Structure 1
Amino acid sequence: MSKEGQTVVVGRAQKGPKGSQTKLGDGEVDRVKMDKEVVKAVLASPLTVAWPNLPRHLQYAVTQVLPLLLPTEVADYHVSRQRCQKRANRVARTAERAAKRGTNPSTHPTATTTHATGGCPMPEDVTLDPSPSTKSPGCTKKDQSQASVPQASTSGEGERGPARPEILQHLVLGINEMIKALEQQIHVLKMEMMMMADRLALSNGLKSAQVTLPTQRFLPTAPDAPVLPHTSPQLEDRTGDVLLHKPPAALAFVIVPLPDINPPALVDPIPQYCATYNSLVYQHNHLSRIFKSRIKAADWGLVADGTKEEVRVVPLARVEGEMAALAGLRRLACLGIRVSSRYEL
């Protein structure tokens, strides 16, 4: 749908049958003049954020960089984790069937301690009860059923799967995780701007009218309400050692294989979220310069720590299969690269 407009046929309105029928030969009626096309101009919504147009040579360059963004350890981790999950489910189903039949699941061929292909260890939270053998003459049927049921170990440790690679801390995989990450970093940016504005208002009030600070704390969203300086470790400590709730790094690039998404409405919110974040980044950087010029460096905290970077949307061609193969997943509709990653496009 173009911004200039598009002519769309909405419907047809029929005239009355009397007075508009043109009689032809042999009693035929001309039906063409009875119909009237109703034409209405439809414009694109001004609130819709369009996807950027990326040249083909840039798309090809990004495609060549994908193996660096998704190293082989990412695919190995996802494949090994899937094998471990299947292994644990198979052992659990075997134990459940053995408990119903009243047999010993340790004789089942799948109840080995290691996985032959994936090297996944047997879950440690499932151990066989070392009760007397079910073949002994003095063992009753009740004892046999109790001996065949797996029991939880006292260690309380879960299944030890593959180690999570460090590179996954700098990546966001999937549509849902992408939208959650964008929403989170928008919320963090708004809170930082709100706290900088509150501190600026507090400093201006003390210098001009010597306003007495209230004893109670006001909400940051209260209009024209000065608040006490926030002294929580997650905002005041600049070393990062005692941070309680340090948010993850913001996204720098969002890669979407747009032609492979069906329906396309699944990824329609992504350009809107990115545009919202980029507009807040511009406001944050401008407010941060004012904040640093009026507030002492010792009182900056983390709200004005560094300049924020905009997030860039990179729509690609039909490369979802290649991206999913590099990540070791069946499908991969979105790939996000955080600013903390050592690789840049």
Structure 2
Amino acid sequence: MADKLVRTHTNQSNRAKAKDALERKVVFRSVLDNPFRVQWPSIPINIQNAILARFIDMVQGVSEYHVEREIRSRKRKSSRAATTTRATKRPRWAHKPRVVDGIVAGSAPLEQSQTADSVTADGEHDVVKPRPDVLNHLTFGINEVTKLLEKTSRSYSRTTVSASSTQEPPSDDRPRIILVCRGDVSPPALLQHIPHVVAACNTRGMGKGTDGIHLVTLSKGAEASLAEAVGLRRISVVAVHVDAPSISELTSLLENIPPPTASWLAAPMDTTVSLIPTHIKQLRTTAPKDMKAAKEQRSRGRAAAKLRKKERIKGSQKAGVPAAEA
């Protein structure tokens, strides 16, 4: 999904006055933009769809595992709730249990109670399905992926200072591809930090024999496909680790797309200093057509405000209220 070259904001300014009788004209003002910015990568739609399809093939069986685990959890909760209800409800005529040597008379042995917990509310034994191996190489969620990227970035910065004291993170813990459902997340500000964190990891990991982290944005509607394939309610960001099965099928589609980097975080390799080019953006705003009339109107407004303040102070003094409280 390619970004627009010019972003237009049509929201009315908070400082604009509704009762402005003067005619206004549209003007453009040049302002300096933040130079330390990382753009989202521009990835063709066909590559986005191919990566999404191959990722769905990679996570075959994960949806069934999550659905069955949710069903087992609900059955356990319902059986425990029913057991607790039966144990707490007691007839009014019932006597207190008789305790002999610290053991409640008539209670079931410990082995029987443990065996009963393994039986569901329907009387069937709960068979646990094995966890798919691919889940050990995936990280879901904005917060969890951000923590993983920050951990990787910190490890690279520590190894730069002292390579003997700190080792690099395990190979199966480093992310290789970050899938972001950018078209489905609202507000977009929730994802604005991800390109910068990915660029920091790639820049600090240069020269350490590690592959860069690819950032892949997916078009609108991809979040529903990912959630259905994984068996979760919603998925905004997914990190695929370097040792994930069939990871080469995904990286082969991204050979011509460079990973995002941040040049200002890289260590200087020579004495020459490379400056970041200046980014200037045009701010669309309005200005009065008659500036002289606008200044006169603003002066009259200030004089009227001062007069109202004086009258308010005089009225409070007559009423016996101190001027500070008025």
Equivalent pair of 1:14/1:36 in contact (CA under 8 Å): no
Which residue in 2 is equivalent to 1:256? 180
Change (3 A) 1:37 1:101: same
Is 1:314–2:302 an aligned residue pair? no
Task: Encode CA deviations 1:205-259: one digit per residue, 9 max, x unaligned.
Answer: xxxxxxxxxxxxxxxxxxxxxxxxx5xxx959xxxxxxxx957431110011111
Q: Which has the higher contact order (CA 8 A, sep 6+)?
A: 2
Is 1:143–2:143 an aligned residue pair? no
Is 1:187–2:154 an aligned residue pair? yes
Q: Cα offset for 1:14?
A: 11
1-structure distance, mates of 2:237, 2:106: 46
2-structure distance, mates of 1:332, 1:37: 42
Equivalent pair of 2:43/2:216 in contact (CA under 8 Å): yes
Q: Cα offset for 1:47?
A: 3.0
Change (3 A) 1:64 1:5: closer
- Residue 339 of structure 1 aligns to which amino acid in structure 2? V
Is 1:166–2:90 an aligned residue pair? no
Equivalent pair of 1:7/1:39 in contact (CA under 8 Å): no
Task: Encode CA deviations 1:277-309: one digit per residue, 9 max, x unaligned.
Answer: 011012xx1xx5xxxxxxxxxxxxxxxxxx111
Q: 1:62 aligns with which of 51, 66, 80?
A: 51
Change (3 A) 1:182 1:155: farther
Percent pairwise identity? 24
Equivalent pair of 1:95/1:149 in contact (CA under 8 Å): no
Which residue in 1 is equivalent to 2:35? 46
Q: Cα offset for 1:343?
A: 1.4
Equivalent pair of 2:171/2:243 in contact (CA under 8 Å): no
Equivalent pair of 2:172/2:242 in contact (CA under 8 Å): no
Equivalent pair of 1:251/1:339 in contact (CA under 8 Å): yes
Equivalent pair of 2:226/2:235 in contact (CA under 8 Å): yes
**Higher alpha-carbon deviation: 151-160 or 334-343:** 151-160
Task: Encode CA deviations 1:129-160: one digit per residue, 9 max, x unaligned.
Answer: xxxxxxxxxx943339x799999769999978
1-structure distance, mates of 2:106, 2:236: 45
SS at structure 2 position matched to 1:260: coil
Q: Cα offset for 1:63?
A: 2.3
Q: Cα offset for 1:169?
A: 1.1
Equivalent pair of 1:12/1:38 in contact (CA under 8 Å): no
Equivalent pair of 1:252/1:310 in contact (CA under 8 Å): yes
Q: Count residues in correspondence.
A: 228
For structure 1, the residue ranges without an aligned partner over 5 or more in a row are 18-30, 104-138, 200-229, 237-244, 289-306
SS at structure 2 position matched to 1:258: coil
Equivalent pair of 1:253/1:313 in contact (CA under 8 Å): yes
Taking structure 1 as the reference length, what is the TM-score of the superposition?
Answer: 0.55
Equivalent pair of 2:179/2:239 in contact (CA under 8 Å): yes
Which residue in 1 is equivalent to 2:267? none
SS at structure 2 position matched to 1:95: helix
For structure 2, the residue ranges without an aligned partner over 5 or more in a row are 99-103, 119-125, 251-326
CA RMSD of aligned residues (A): 4.0
Equivalent pair of 2:134/2:245 in contact (CA under 8 Å): no
Q: Cα offset for 1:177?
A: 1.5
